[in-house]
Structure 1
Amino acid sequence: MKIQLTTAAAGLFILLGVGAAAAEDIIIQPEEDTVIQEYVKKEPLASLKLPGVELNVGTALPDTVELREVPNVKYRYVVIDNRTVLVDPGTRKIVKIYN
């Protein structure tokens, strides 16, 4: 009985963790997304190579990577492996990857 309760408690913590992760999802409004894409086209950057860094939403970029500002948008951008990457400047985590 004690083992079953422990397993149930572990399952509950996993579910709560999934809910917390979902709450952290970043939602970029379509209008904001359009502003970002248009700005990035007007202000292109040279593409960087970051060996050992996987381009995934949620991956934190090293402090050595210079992030460029998008006016009136809280996110910054950089181009890595010819892909524009939108980054939260506070956490340096990737929030969106454009192809």
Structure 2
Amino acid sequence: MKIHLVPAAAGLVLLTGVGVATADQVIVTPEQQTVIREYVDRHPLASISLLGVELNIGSTVPETVELHPIDVPDVQYRYVVVDDRTVLVDPGTRRIVQVID
């Protein structure tokens, strides 16, 4: 009986790890993307340059960068324009969640 529990427990741990990994991913629905793009187009910002910061999902935006709210229901992210590219940022972690081209 104990022999069967070890693989089952290991499988449960693996499944739990996968669940945690996917919970960390940010999903912006196509509908939200459309509304966000429309909002950003209506509220343009001047582009800034950030030396040493790559515009990749998961990169951190420095505290010195002002993040602008997106006044759209059900969207918790902020945005900033870096090198002429609009970037969605999680205001709590300041991590880039999406780069809008």
**Same fold by TM (over 0.5)?**
yes
Normalization by structure 2: what TM-score? 0.76
Normalization by structure 1: what TM-score? 0.78
Distance 1:47 1:40 in 2: 13
One-letter amino acid of the counterpart of residue 95, structure 1: V
1:1-99 alignment to 2 at 5 Å? Answer: 19=18, 20-71=20-71, 72=73, 73-99=75-101
Query: Once the 2 structures are TM-superposed, how far is the Cα of residue 43 of structure 1 from its aligned partner?
Result: 0.4
Identity %: 57
DSSP-derived class of the 2:64 partner: coil
Distance 1:29 1:54 in 2: 24
Listed as ranges, the gaps of 5+ residues in structure 1 are: 1-14
Query: Once the 2 structures are TM-superposed, how far is the Cα of residue 22 of structure 1 from its aligned partner?
Result: 3.1
Query: What is the RMSD computed on CA atoms of the aligned residues?
Result: 1.8
Query: Once the 2 structures are TM-superposed, how far is the Cα of residue 21 of structure 1 from its aligned partner?
Result: 3.2
Listed as ranges, the gaps of 5+ residues in structure 2 are: 1-13
One-letter amino acid of the counterpart of residue 97, structure 2: V
Distance 1:44 1:89 in 2: 19
Q: Aligned pair count? A: 85
Distance 2:63 2:21 in 1: 24
Runs of at least 4 residues off by over 6 Å:
none
Query: For residues 17-74 of structure 1, what are the alpha-carbon distances to aligned partners after superposition, in whole Å with 9 as ceiling and x for unaligned?
Result: x733333110111211111000000000000000001110001111100001111321
